[in-house]
Amino acid sequence: MTQYKVMIIEDDLNAAQSISNFLEAWGFQCIYLENFQEVTEEFVKYKPEIVLLDITLPRYNGYYWCEEIRKISKVPIIFISSTSDNLNMILAMNMGGDDFVIKPFDLNFLLAKINSLLRRTYDFQGVMNIIACGDVVLDLDNAKLQYKGNIMELSRNDFVILKELMTHKGKNVSRDDLMQALWSDNTFVDDNTLTVNITRVRNKLSKIGLEDFIITRKGMGYQVGSITFHCSIS
């Protein structure tokens, strides 16, 4: 998958670093600025595929830098700001912004916005194909699960079980449905095999802080729990 470059123009360096670390875990290449005097020069040097731009910045605001970038590039720009009144959102769009994300926001929401905008802009095939349940994110392309920065490699059976449960998040999935999902052309899965696989997945999940993610519904099957963690980028 192509590694797309993200430039983060945000004067809260803790927030910028948090965004950068999260996106890099999902395969993006990121840079965040610490010098806000030469934003255009840094943009030209780095050549990002997408820009995350705060409104309130030292010296010149985000509107100014958006206009400057637009003079030389059509790269997609997402404004990220706690200034969420309609006037500022309209101004951001009129200055050349492509989208607007209001602080505080969930990093998974920002990831979805970035992927959507990149897909529309570049029509590429490498956008993350994911299922999210709160802050638990299942990467369908690479069979990995992420939670709070922890990434868990999944076996085929782990992946099939989690995909089936997360696709039906908030609903019971019967043991029969899970066994059917696990069957392959030459592998028969019985009740005992399913129990072993569920136990193994739960043990793996517990190691990244998800002890109660898969809930047993007696007589009905299983359900994934609601795990919520909101990153306060402000």
pLDDT at residue 127, rounded to an integer:
45
Select from 122, 138, 172 the last residue of a domain. 122
What residue has token string 């782990």? 158
Taking the CA atoms of 48, 50, 54 and 59 in sequence, report the sign of the dihedral they define.
Answer: positive
The closest alpha carbon to 10, from 45, 30, 34, belongs to 34
Same domain, 95 and 179: no
Nearest to 70 by CA among 62, 58, 80: 62
Tens of pLDDT, residues 183-197: 864 567 788 999 999
- The domain total for the chain is 2
Same domain, 97 and 156: no
Q: Are residues 107 and 142 located together in one domain of the fold? A: no
pLDDT tens sequence across 122-133? 865 444 467 877
Which CATH number covers residue 208? 1.10.10.10
Confidence band, pLDDT 50/70/90 cuts, at residue 138: confident
| Type of residue found at 216 | T
Determine, yes or no, domain membership for 115. Answer: yes
Classify residue 126 by burial, with Cβ atoms within 10 Å: 0-12, 13-18, 19+.
middle
SS3 track for the chain: CCCCEEEEECCCHHHHHHHHHHHHHCCCEEEECCCCCCHHHHHHHHCCCEEEECCCCCCCCHHHHHHHHHCCCCCCEEEEECCCCHHHHHHHHHCCCCEEEECCCCHHHHHHHHHHHHHHHHCCCCCCCEEEECCEEEECCCCEEEECCEEEECCHHHHHHHHHHHHCCCCCECHHHHHHHHCECCECCCHHHHHHHHHHHHHHHHCCCCCCCEEEECCCEEEECCCCCCCCCC
Give me the domain span that covers residue 103. Answer: 5-122
Cα 232 to Cα 11, 37, 52, 66, 217, distances in angstroms: 15, 27, 16, 24, 33
Asked whether residue 12 falls in the same domain as residue 95, the answer is yes
Q: Is residue 17 part of a domain?
A: yes
Non-local (6+) Cβ contacts of 100 within 8 A are 78, 79, 81, 89, 92, 93
In this prediction, residue 123 carries a pLDDT of: 65
d(CA 6, CA 25): 13
Q: Is the pLDDT of residue 45 over 50?
A: yes
Residues facing 222 on adjacent strands: 173, 216
Q: Do 50 and 38 touch, CB atoms closer than 8 A?
A: no
Are residue 189 and residue 172 in the same domain, yes or no? yes
With bands split at pLDDT 50, 70 and 90, how would you rate the model's confidence at 221? very high
Which tokens belong to 14?
Answer: 């803790």
CATH number of the domain to which 24 belongs: 3.40.50.2300
pLDDT above 90: percentage of residues in the chain = 57
Q: pLDDT tens, 55-64?
A: 999 989 999 9
Same domain as 84, residue 11: yes
Q: Does 181 lie in the same domain as 113?
A: no
Residues 177 and 117 in one domain: no
Regarding whether 51 and 88 lie in a shared domain, the answer is yes
Identify the pLDDT of residue 126. 46
Task: Output the pLDDT for position 85.
Answer: 85
Both 46 and 92 in one domain: the answer is yes
pLDDT at 81: 92
